[in-house]
Structure 1
Amino acid sequence: MKEVKKALVVFSGGQDSTTCLFWAKQQFDEVEAISFDYGQKHQLELQVAEAIAVKANVPFHVYKLDLLGQITSNALTNADMEVEEDKPADRPPNTLVEGRNMLFLTYAAVYAKSKGIHHLVTGVGQADYSGYPDCRDEFIRSLNQTLNLSMDYPYEIHTPLMWKNKMQIWQLADELGVFDLVRNETLTCYNGIVGDGCGHCPACKLRRNGLGHYLKDRKLGNG
């Protein structure tokens, strides 16, 4: 009997994780999505994630990790802190949530083991590096080994966007048939605006720049 390949996607409802969700549906027999309520200012992202998971026809789970928002100070959890529009040269941006990807993947791994799932999928990447240390390939490979050892269970963390820039991520979404969904229904904006977002936060600038390059490339027939 053929082995059923199952995957769990760490899912936020943003451009990258949504692209990964549909990539996973193409790669695996069964897919689930997991999100975390970590005290983020924009709870709307959890609603957006659930709506996209329903459209993708995958089971969706949300778990609380709100302690993270209590012990860190950043612009995504602190209502009194404004998102920096330009990345500082001497430190990570103030949207860095310390330890977020490590905790998300660790809790996702615990859940996955309980369900007999060996494959974890996350939308991190370092091609368009934003100064987040927990988006690096080196970190993911290290954590993968740590999870395997800590739970004596063979995980494989997949990062399909690791070496793709935003233009290439738009291209992948188009190839997966979800370009319009990703463009209009995801929430990437640090200021909590669905679709094209506010247009001036770092996440929106990166997304818009990649989209412009991809649409130009597609128009020229190179996509």
Structure 2
Amino acid sequence: MTPNTTKTAEKALVVLSGGQDSTTCLYWALQKFGAANVEAVTFDYGQRHRVELDCARKIAAMAGVRQTVLPIDTFAAIGGNALTDDSITPEEGSRDDDALPNTFVPGRNLIFLTFAAAFGYTRGARHIVTGVAQTDYSGYPDCRENTLQALQLAVRLGMDSRVELHTPLMYLSKAETVTLAQQVGAMEALAWSHTCYNGAVPPCGHCASCALRAKGFAEAGVADPLIERCSKEA
């Protein structure tokens, strides 16, 4: 996961959820690897905010990249979290204790990236790009650099491959992520991205994910293109 800004002829696979971070990473990958060398993979894991699947398709089409949607229904069967269980309402605001928020889906990123590496293996794409960030407000343990380093090693050993996990947002604040989106030309696509944990369009504006996104754009001094689009369509 060594930073590298030089374009290569090697293929890359971007884990594209349709959200702000993965959209930014898709355009980062296009700049780094070249459009002809980038594909996207999206996971349908029974998420309550299913609108993001449509967003991912739209964004992949805008970027001109091939996208594959892979079904993973195990998380919905397991339940117990607000992203796959409709009986649980996503928490709002920050917590006062060290407990993870109920939007944490145990093992999600570990599974996603393992499947992505396997899919990339069949596509000849050893570079896997993901929008996880250690600076994320939630502190999800499967978004931390040490987790990704361990997973990269495990996948390399298990697949006898040279897979490389790229995490361009790992230490960026949300405001810095907005700045990066501007630099890589992702702002138009962000108008079609989805972040709201409640799956609302226009976004609900009060779930933790909406609050974090709004804070990032405000601190960057940039208007959120999604909010602008929804306002025009209202």
TM-score, structure 2 as length reference = 0.87
CA distance in 1, matches of 2:136, 2:57: 27
Contact 1:5 1:28 in 2 (8 A): yes
CA distance in 2, matches of 1:81, 1:148: 37
1:67 — aligned with what? Answer: 74
2:12 — aligned with what? Answer: 7
CA distance in 2, matches of 1:203, 1:193: 12
Q: Deviations over 1:83-114 (max 9, x none)?
A: 11023323100000010000000001111111
State yes or no: 1:115 paired with 2:109. no
Which ranges in structure 2 are unaligned for 5 or more consecutive residues? 1-7, 223-234
State yes or no: 1:42 paired with 2:49. yes
Report the alpha carbon displacement of residue 185 of structure 1 after superposing the two structures with TM: 1.1
2:33 — aligned with what? Answer: 28
CA distance in 1, matches of 2:201, 2:26: 18
Q: Which has the higher contact order (CA 8 A, sep 6+)?
A: 2
1:214 — aligned with what? Answer: 220
TM-score, structure 1 as length reference = 0.92
CA distance in 1, matches of 2:123, 2:207: 38
For 1:1-223, list aligned pairs within 5 A: 4-29=9-34, 30-88=37-95, 89-182=97-190, 184-194=191-201, 197-215=203-221
Which ranges in structure 1 are unaligned for 5 or more consecutive residues? 217-223
**Aligned partner letter, 1:21:** L
CA distance in 1, matches of 2:137, 2:85: 23
**Aligned partner letter, 1:130:** S
Q: 3-state SS of the aligned residue for 2:22?
A: helix
Contact 1:126 1:162 in 2 (8 A): yes
Alignment: residue pair count:
213
Contact 1:72 1:98 in 2 (8 A): no
Contact 2:49 2:196 in 1 (8 A): no
CA distance in 1, matches of 2:136, 2:110: 19
Identity between Structure 1 and Structure 2 (%): 48
**What CA RMSD, in Å, does the superposition of the two structures yield over aligned residues?**
1.5
Distance 1:58 1:180, change over 3 A: closer
**Aligned partner letter, 1:56:** A
Report the alpha carbon displacement of residue 194 of structure 1 after superposing the two structures with TM: 4.3
Report the alpha carbon displacement of residue 74 of structure 1 after superposing the two structures with TM: 0.4
